[in-house]
Amino acid sequence: MNYRIIDKETYYRKGVYRHFTQDCKCSTSMTARIDVTALAAYSRQTGTRFYLNFLYILSKVLNSRDDYRMAYLWQKDELICYDVIHPTQYVFHEDTETCTPVYTEYREDYGAFYRYALQDVERAKQTREYGLDAANHPNWFDASYISWLSYDALNIELPDGYLYFLPIINWGKYREEGGRLLMPVSVRMNHAVADGYLIANVFRLLEKEMADFARRE
């Protein structure tokens, strides 16, 4: 785990950061439907799991820009940017109706990421323990698939004043609309390090990366 300390006096969002860490501590979230038609077709044609393919693309997008890798170290009052962030995915157990967090490392190489992510999922299926270990996984972002519903909106609440900066991402079932497959995705970030533009940009980057991914050989 490596990171660099951001100088809050020269930080390009200095004024916004001060306001939303001192005057008005709050988060902001957005839900939008994104077109996953090409990614679903690619997954079927290659016999790969759509869920893991999307998780790879999501991880790639969130690692593509410093704004999505920010964190706050309250012990030192430091604003930092991680070199890389990894997805915390979840395995749902039908028999107990509970989830097990799965800490998967992001790897830029798709084949390696897919292979290890699949192993992580299969390993988690063998336990029923919750196993959350956030203290030892500080640069992991939350990536949760809500497989039972193609929802229209979702809101994640954190305690008032809690300066948690890493993205929290949820997505639901895709459904056909007008001949296309559309999937709801929700992005939650702290307003101190993100605004409407930065959150909307996640959706724009997801659609671009999915299009590029589906054209891969």
| 131: containing domain | 32-65+84-158+165-189+200-214
CATH of the domain at 97: 3.30.559.10
Q: Is residue 3 part of a domain?
A: no
Residues in the chain: 217
Structural domain total, the chain = 1
Angle formed by the axes of helices 196-214 and 37-46, nearest 10°: 40
pLDDT digits over 21-47, tens only? 999 999 999 999 999 999 999 999 999
pLDDT interval class at 217 (50, 70, 90): low
Beta strands in 36-167 (DSSP E): 70-73, 78-82, 86-93, 98-103, 140-146
pLDDT tens digits, one per residue of 61-101: 999 999 999 999 999 999 999 999 999 999 999 999 999 99
Strand 140-146 with 86-93, pairing? parallel
Smallest CA-to-CA distance from 152 within 133, 130, 127, 170 is with 170
Give residue-wise pLDDT tens across range 169-214.
999 999 999 999 999 999 999 999 999 999 999 999 999 999 999 9
- Note whether residue 6 is domain-resident: no
Is pTM, for the whole model, over 0.85? yes
Over the stretch 124-175, which tens digit does the pLDDT of each residue have?
999 999 989 988 999 999 999 999 999 999 998 887 678 999 999 999 999 9
Cβ atoms < 10 Å from Cβ of 151: 15
The verdict on residue 19 lying in a domain is no
Looking at residue 152, the DSSP 8-state letter turns out to be: S
The structure tokens listed for 52 are: 């893991």
155 in Cβ contact with 8 (< 8 Å): no
Q: How does strand 168-172 pair with strand 180-190?
A: antiparallel
- Write down the pLDDT at residue 128: 94
Q: Is 90 left (phi over 0), alpha (psi -120 to 50) or beta?
A: beta
Taking the C-alpha atoms of residue 139 and residue 214, their distance in angstroms, rounded to an integer, is: 28
Does some domain include residue 170?
Answer: yes
Residue 216, pLDDT score: 79
Task: Answer whether residue 122 is part of any domain.
Answer: yes
Yes or no: say if 213 and 39 are a contact pair by the CB < 8 Å rule: yes
In a domain, 57, yes or no: yes
60 is a domain residue: yes
Q: pLDDT of 112-124, one tens digit each?
A: 999 999 999 999 9
The predicted pLDDT at position 149 comes to 96
Is 9 domain-assigned? Answer: no
CB-hemisphere CA count at 13 Å for 83? 7
d(CA 42, CA 30): 27
